[in-house]
């Protein structure tokens, strides 16, 4: 017997569960993005301080 692919759009109920899971995974701040922005700000501050000392 061939297996059919798991299609989350198969029924309305399955799709609603799929959409709810996708939303719950996206909630909250992205920690990697915040850390990346903080690192960029730190590098800019260091460069500005180095230029001002010249």
Question: Is residue 20 domain-resident?
Answer: no
Count: domains in the chain: 1
Does 35 map to a domain? Answer: yes
Confidence (pLDDT) at 21 = 79
Torsion angle defined by CA atoms of residues 32, 37, 38 and 44, in that order, rounded to the nearest 10 degrees? 150
pLDDT above 60 for 52:
yes
pLDDT tens digits, 4-51: 666 655 678 877 888 787 666 655 677 888 999 999 999 999 999 999
Please give the pLDDT value at position 10.
Answer: 66
53 or 9, higher pLDDT: 53
Q: What is the residue range of 45's domain?
A: 29-54
Assigned domain for 39 exists: yes
pLDDT score, position 19: 79
């Amino acid at each position: 017997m061939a297996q059919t692919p798991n299609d989350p759009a198969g029924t309305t109920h399955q799709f609603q569960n799929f959409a709810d899971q996708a939303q719950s995974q996206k909630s909250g701040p992205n920690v990697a993005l915040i850390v990346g922005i903080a690192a960029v700000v730190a590098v800019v501050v260091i460069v500005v301080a180095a230029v001002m000392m010249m």
